């Protein structure tokens, strides 16, 4: 018997309706959480069809597995991964296909799984741990017979073969998952060099990410051991339990994150620096299958790193898409907002720029995650008073530069983004060059 998957019942209905309506191949993502014994799938979302000028809706649908746009599926997964809180991730993919192309399905799914993992991994600044699960689920559904074949692939082994998996439906699996929250103050000055600007920015963020990883995590104000149980009190059934909110605090040391190594001052030549400062709201969800405090701490720390890096990426990508420049001085990064995920106890997130409104966010939730939300469902209160900001390049790398924290939107107007689908389509082309292209323009401001 292979790896086990506990799947929310709403996923079964979603896949049944999708396969009944499928006239050709349809792909999509599974979203949920991994644990040592089994994985939990809470949401399935179809890959949106790529908008192409002069092409009809039916023509955009792939007619066979060979015609599936692998880069587009991977880009959708990258966009979706930004919208997930800590502890929740893309677990795999599904493919709905007619019976005549069923022989090609497994090879296509393997290709998609590895492409998706590669795309998402590019935005991970934290190091994987021994506890991380590397198996990804794939589900092939015949659009005619509704028969489903469930397999897993190990994304760390390119030569791996498919393994069988156990796929079981259950209701309310995430309704009582504990919510871990914290607010983190960010104050970074990243030196950049003219030789390799994009690498300088990412290296600076990686150094900070290691500090976050090694930070002491307090749960409800108390330091706890790694193997301590997160939940206390009498055990309850999943359906009867109420969701608990756990308050956490991260105590970050400015010392070198590599324990046991002597730290020393380093003189580094640079052309300028980028300053990031502000406060961010972070949250993570943990399954109720005997969760440990170390699992909660790890999920929360990764959410901290992910949300800061995602905002920087999004600002640079937005400027590149709209042919704008990151001007000298302060420019606001997008604010994190949340919305409830129907049928679960979780919320998903997105990021709103100063010139956007909740209607724009609701549209992206619909297109990227298939969530039908009213504008009032979007919670913008978590970071309403504390906006994380990025500053333009400063001459030199003086440590005496005073960090600036702004709680009001910048007077600089960020160019309006396109619709979510057009935005994602552009990102598929721009993502590989966004950091380099924009950062190069930053250096130009100093000349």
Give Cα separations from 400 to 204, 266, 312 (angstroms). Answer: 18, 16, 24
Q: Do 68 and 213 share a domain, yes or no?
A: no
Query: Which residue, of 150, 170, 190, is where some domain finishes?
Result: 170
Chain-centroid distance of CA 218 in Å reads: 24
| Upper half-sphere CA count for residue 124 (Cβ side, 13 Å) | 15
Give the pLDDT of residue 418.
44
Q: Do 152 and 81 share a domain, yes or no?
A: yes
Q: Do 206 and 124 share a domain, yes or no?
A: no
Query: How far is the C-alpha of 226 from the C-alpha of 95, rounded, in Å?
Result: 39
Query: How far is the C-alpha of 345 from the C-alpha of 365, rounded, in Å?
Result: 17
pLDDT digits 0-9 by tens, 321-367: 776 665 566 778 899 999 999 878 899 999 999 889 999 999 999 99
User: Which range has highest mean pLDDT (72-76, 199-203, 342-346)?
Assistant: 72-76
Query: How far is the C-alpha of 130 from the C-alpha of 127, rounded, in Å?
Result: 10
Q: Provide the b/e sequence for 24-57 (b: ≥16 CB within 10 Å).
A: bbbbbbbbbbbbeebbbbbbbbbbbbbeeeeeee
Q: Do 277 and 308 share a domain, yes or no?
A: yes
High-pLDDT (> 70) share of the chain, %: 76
Please tell me the pTM assigned to this model. 0.83
Please name every residue paired with 245 in a beta bridge, in sequence order, or none if there are none. Answer: 179
Give the pLDDT of residue 308.
94
Take residue 288 and report the two structure tokens written for it. 């109720």
pLDDT digits 0-9 by tens, 381-424: 999 776 666 655 565 544 433 333 232 333 332 333 444 444 44
Q: Do 338 and 441 share a domain, yes or no?
A: yes
Please name every residue paired with 137 in a beta bridge, in sequence order, or none if there are none. Answer: 92, 152
Q: Which residue has the higher pLDDT, 83 or 327?
A: 83
Q: What is the mean pLDDT of the chain?
A: 80
Give Cα separations from 375 to 323, 338, 360, 371 (angstroms). Answer: 29, 11, 9, 12
Q: Do 109 and 16 share a domain, yes or no?
A: yes
Give the pLDDT of residue 430.
37
Cβ atoms of 297 and 240 closer than 8 Å: no
Give the pLDDT of residue 88.
97
Q: Which residue has the higher pLDDT, 386 or 106?
A: 106
Query: How far is the C-alpha of 231 from the C-alpha of 399, rounded, in Å?
Result: 43
- What CATH code is carried by the domain that includes residue 42? 3.40.140.10
83 pLDDT exceeds 90? yes
| Domain total in the chain | 2
Cβ atoms of 379 and 373 closer than 8 Å: no
Give the pLDDT of residue 228.
83
pLDDT digits 0-9 by tens, 119-158: 999 989 988 888 899 999 999 999 888 899 999 999 999 9
Q: Do 399 and 336 share a domain, yes or no?
A: yes
| Averaged pLDDT for residues 209-218 | 93
Give the pLDDT of residue 102.
81
Q: Do 437 and 314 share a domain, yes or no?
A: yes
Give the pLDDT of residue 296.
92
Domain of 52 in residue numbering reads as 4-170
pLDDT digits 0-9 by tens, 10-25: 999 999 999 877 778 8
Give the pLDDT of residue 326.
55
Give the pLDDT of residue 325.
60
Q: Do 297 and 438 share a domain, yes or no?
A: yes
Q: Do 163 and 272 share a domain, yes or no?
A: no
- Three-state DSSP class for 321? helix
Query: Which residue, of 147, 170, 193, is where some domain finishes?
Result: 170
Query: Which residue, of 170, 195, 211, is where some domain finishes?
Result: 170
Q: Can you tell me which residue has the tokens 């792939």?
A: 62
Q: In this predicted structure, which of 87-101, 177-191, 214-228 has the lowest mean pLDDT?
A: 214-228
Residue 297 burial by Cβ neighbours in a 10 Å radius (0-12, 13-18, 19+):
buried
191 pLDDT exceeds 90? no
148-154 vs 216-219, strand pairing mode: unpaired
Give the pLDDT of residue 179.
95
Q: Do 247 and 144 share a domain, yes or no?
A: no
307 pLDDT exceeds 80? yes
74 pLDDT exceeds 90? yes
Q: Do 202 and 145 share a domain, yes or no?
A: no
Query: How far is the C-alpha of 149 from the C-alpha of 153, rounded, in Å?
Result: 13
């Amino acid at each position: 018997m292979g790896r086990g998957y506990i799947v929310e019942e709403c996923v079964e209905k979603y896949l049944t309706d999708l396969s009944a309506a499928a006239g050709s191949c349809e792909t999509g993502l599974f979203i949920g959480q991994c644990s040592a014994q089994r994985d939990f799938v809470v949401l399935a979302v179809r890959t949106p069809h790529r908008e192409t000028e002069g092409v009809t809706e039916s023509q955009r649908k792939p007619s066979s597995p060979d015609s599936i746009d692998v880069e587009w599926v991977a880009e959708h997964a990258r966009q979706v991964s930004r919208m997930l809180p800590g502890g929740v991730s893309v677990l795999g993919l599904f493919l709905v296909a007619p019976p005549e192309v069923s022989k090609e399905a497994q090879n296509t799914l393997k290709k998609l799984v590895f492409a998706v993992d590669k795309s998402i991994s590019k935005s991970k600044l934290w190091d994987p741990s021994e506890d991380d699960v590397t198996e990804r689920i794939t589900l092939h559904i015949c659009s005619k017979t509704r028969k489903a074949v469930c397999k897993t692939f190990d994304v760390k082994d390119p030569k791996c073969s498919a393994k069988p998996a156990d796929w079981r439906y259950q209701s309310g699996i995430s309704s009582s998952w504990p919510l871990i929250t914290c607010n983190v103050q960010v104050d970074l000055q990243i030196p950049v060099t003219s030789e390799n600007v994009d690498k300088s920015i990412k290296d600076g963020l990686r150094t900070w990410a290691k500090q976050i990883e090694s930070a002491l995590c307090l749960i409800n104000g108390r330091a706890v051991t790694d193997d301590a149980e997160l939940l206390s009190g009498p055990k309850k059934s999943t359906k009867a339990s109420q969701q608990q909110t756990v308050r956490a605090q991260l105590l970050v040391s400015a010392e070198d994150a590599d324990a046991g190594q002597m730290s020393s001052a380093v003189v580094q030549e640079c052309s300028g620096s980028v300053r990031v400062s502000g406060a961010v709201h972070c949250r993570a969800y943990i399954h109720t299958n005997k969760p440990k405090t170390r699992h909660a701490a790890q999920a929360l720390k990764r959410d901290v790193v992910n949300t800061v890096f995602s905002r920087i990426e999004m600002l640079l990508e937005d400027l590149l898409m709209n042919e704008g420049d990151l001007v000298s001085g302060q420019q606001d990064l997008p604010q994190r907002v949340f919305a409830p995920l129907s049928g679960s106890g979780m919320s998903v997130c997105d990021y709103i720029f100063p010139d956007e409104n909740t209607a724009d966010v609701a549209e992206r939730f619909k297109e990227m995650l298939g969530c039908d939300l009213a504008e009032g469902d979007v919670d913008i209160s978590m970071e309403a008073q504390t906006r994380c900001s990025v500053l333009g390049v400063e001459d030199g790398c003086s440590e005496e530069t005073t960090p600036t924290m702004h709680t009001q939107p910048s007077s600089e107007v960020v160019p309006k983004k396109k619709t979510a689908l057009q935005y994602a389509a552009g990102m598929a082309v721009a993502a590989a060059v966004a950091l380099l292209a924009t950062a190069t323009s930053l250096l130009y401001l100093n000349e």
